[in-house]
């Protein structure tokens, strides 16, 4: 009996050792399915997939491109913070902490556990990643790129297009083009993020566009859910849940999974709770969340649909407002916007802009949001002007082209958008009456329609927000 047990233990031990060797051998074998042009990136990915992302940092050097090896240590070291410098000065986040993390790190998989068993098509179309930046810190920019290369199936990444929006040092961008799949376009003058993204989109070779800010870290399987939704219906414009990367210590924090994008009449973006009825009927946490607007920086959109809908309003400058313009246009002209809870991307949220606005921050925001309001908001634009009186009389350029576009696309009215997409956005109320749209082009006091706002003092223009 004792001998049988000893034999069994010996056999099990040998089997375990052989099994371990076989596993290691399998792991090192070249992957037959990866194409000749990208075996090394594929290998990085395959190795990354075997690690437990939650505990072990992913330290992988990027493969060379055409014999040139990207020297990431040198790239990062050259721009590191000097002793005594204020770590927040140049980027409005703690640069010392970002530099300390280096080019890659493990982050927690923040998705709902049920996301791991959602299935996607075996073949999905590849995407061009578009990242515009102005004087981004090298460590955050490189981490953005490497997280994309390490946490996406290589076959889905056609290319990463960087648009250097006239940063002080052209090498910030140029050196990164030594990384496989990375291309760098440099603007000859400061254009702002809107025109920069259009430039990136125009040069993209994939049929699907993916926009990212320059200080993101994408999370496990972030891309498949978004490409799947867009592949099924090109009129969907989809975004991930945007997790928070702390601007102080760079901790990666999970964002709430039941928020959507909203705004108030001053065209100020805010996250808000999805309406209670929708929340109660959500029995599958992996399903998309309809959203009235997107935050703007991180989304996936079919390229032909992006072009068909008129890309962006390229008369908007630097930063701001383009997310409303795009969101109204998508909804009103036949598309939809959604947040996909099984896709997570971290973003460093900041409290101020680290770059300058040649025309001033306030005037630029007014110009951009005024253009969005004048083109898309019909009679409701008066709420925008009441909420932002300083916008009146400020220059916003010609909107003739955008009005022509709206006409040509045969888009629906803002009243339709209010009723069908964002009924929770309240309008002014007086007693039992609401100031509401009375048909085509007029506003007046009428019995409040379903979904119009809670009682508010008449002078106060406000929205219902739940934080």
Binding site for Mn ion (CB under 5 A): 213
Q: Does residue 147 touch ligand LR7 according to CB under 6 A? A: no
239 has which bridge partners?
339
The C-alpha atoms of residue 306 and residue 295 are separated, in whole angstroms, by 17
**By the 8 A CB rule, do 191 and 134 touch?**
no
**357 vs 416 by CB, closer to ligand LR7:** 357
Q: From ligand LR7, Mn ion, none, which one binds at residue 31 (CB under 5 to 8 Å depending on kind)?
A: none
Q: From Mn ion, ligand LR7, none, which one binds at residue 355 (CB under 5 to 8 Å depending on kind)?
A: ligand LR7
Q: Does residue 295 touch ligand LR7 according to CB under 6 A? A: yes
Chosen residue from 200, 296, 335, 346 binding ligand LR7 by CB under 6 A? 296
Q: From ligand LR7, Mn ion, none, which one binds at residue 302 (CB under 5 to 8 Å depending on kind)?
A: none
Q: From Mn ion, ligand LR7, none, which one binds at residue 311 (CB under 5 to 8 Å depending on kind)?
A: none
The number of angstroms, rounded, from the C-alpha of 222 to the middle of its chain's C-alpha atoms is: 11
CA distance from start to end of the chain: 68
Query: Hey, which residues between 180 and 239 contact ligand LR7 (CB under 6 A)?
Result: 190, 192-193, 196, 213-214
Burial degree of 130 (CB within 10 A; 0-12, 13-18, 19+): buried
**72 vs 165 by CB, closer to ligand LR7:** 165
Q: Does residue 347 touch ligand LR7 according to CB under 6 A? A: yes
Instruction: Give the DSSP letter string of 250-282.
Output: --EEPPPSSEEEEE-TT--EEEEEPPHHHHHT-
Task: For residue 47, give every residue at least 6 positions away whose Cβ sits within 8 Å of its Cβ, in sequence order, or none.
Answer: 27, 60
The C-alpha atoms of residue 325 and residue 462 are separated, in whole angstroms, by 20
**322 vs 424 by CB, closer to ligand LR7:** 322
Question: b or e along 206-241 (b: 16 or more beta carbons within 10 Å of the residue's beta carbon)?
Answer: bbbbbbbbbbbbbbbbbbbbbbbbbbeebebbbbbb
Q: Does residue 136 touch ligand LR7 according to CB under 6 A? A: yes
**148 vs 434 by CB, closer to ligand LR7:** 148
Q: Does residue 376 touch ligand LR7 according to CB under 6 A? A: no
Smallest gap, in angstroms, from Cβ of residue 173 to ligand LR7?
Answer: 11
How many beta carbons lie within 10 A of that of residue 449, not counting itself? 13
Q: Does residue 320 touch ligand LR7 according to CB under 6 A? A: yes
Q: By CB under 6 A, name the binding residues for ligand LR7.
A: 132-134, 136, 165, 190, 192-193, 196, 213-214, 242, 269, 295-298, 318-320, 322-323, 347, 349, 353, 355
């Amino acid at each position: 009996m004792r001998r049988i047990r000893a034999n069994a233990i010996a056999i099990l031990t040998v089997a375990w050792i052989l099994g371990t060797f076989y596993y290691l051998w399998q792991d090192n074998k070249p992957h037959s399915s990866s194409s000749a042009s990208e075996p090394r990136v594929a290998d990085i990915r395959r190795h990354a997939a075997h690690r437990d992302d939650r505990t072990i940092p992913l330290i992988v050097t990027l493969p060379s491109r055409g014999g040139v090896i990207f020297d990431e240590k040198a790239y990062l070291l050259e721009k590191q913070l000097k002793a005594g410098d204020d770590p927040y000065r140049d980027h409005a986040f703690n640069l010392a902490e970002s530099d300390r993390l280096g080019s890659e790190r493990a982050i927690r998989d923040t998705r709902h556990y049920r996301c791991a068993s959602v299935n996607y098509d075996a073949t999905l179309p590849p995407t061009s990643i578009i990242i515009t930046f102005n004087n981004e810190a090298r460590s955050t920019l490189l981490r953005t790129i490497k997280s994309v290369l390490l946490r996406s199936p290589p076959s889905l990444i056609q290319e990463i297009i960087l648009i250097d929006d006239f940063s002080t040092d052209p090498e910030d961008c140029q050196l990164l083009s030594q990384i496989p799949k990375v291309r760098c376009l440099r603007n000859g003058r400061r254009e702002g993020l809107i025109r920069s993204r259009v430039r990136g989109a125009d040069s993209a070779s994939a049929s699907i566009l993916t926009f990212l800010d320059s200080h993101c870290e994408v999370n496990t399987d972030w891309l498949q859910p978004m490409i799947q939704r867009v592949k099924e219906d090109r009129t969907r414009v989809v975004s991930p849940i945007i997790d928070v990367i702390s601007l102080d210590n760079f901790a990666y924090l999970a964002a709430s999974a039941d928020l959507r994008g909203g705004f108030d009449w001053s065209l100020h973006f805010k996250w808000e709770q999805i309406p209670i009825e929708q929340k109660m009927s959500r029995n599958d946490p992996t399903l998309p969340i309809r959203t009235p607007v997107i935050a703007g920086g991180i989304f996936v959109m079919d390229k032909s649909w992006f072009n068909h809908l008129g890309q962006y309003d390229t008369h908007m400058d630097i930063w701001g407002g383009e997310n409303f313009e795009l969101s109204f246009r998508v909804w009103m002209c036949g598309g939809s916007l959604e947040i996909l809870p099984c896709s997570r991307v971290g973003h460093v949220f900041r409290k101020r802009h680290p770059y300058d606005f040649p025309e001033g921050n306030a005037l630029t925001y007014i110009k951009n949001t005024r253009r969005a309001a004048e083109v898309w908001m019909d009679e409701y634009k008066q709420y925008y002007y009441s909420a932002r009186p300083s916008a009146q009389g400020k220059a916003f350029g010609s909107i003739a082209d955008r009005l022509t576009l709206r006409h040509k696309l045969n888009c629906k009215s803002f009243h339709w958008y209010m009723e069908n997409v964002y009924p929770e956005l309240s309008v002014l109320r007086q007693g039992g009456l609401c100031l509401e749209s009375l048909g085509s082009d007029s506003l007046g006091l009428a019995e409040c329609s379903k979904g119009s706002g809670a009682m508010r003092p008449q002078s106060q223009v406000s929205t219902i927000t739940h934080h």
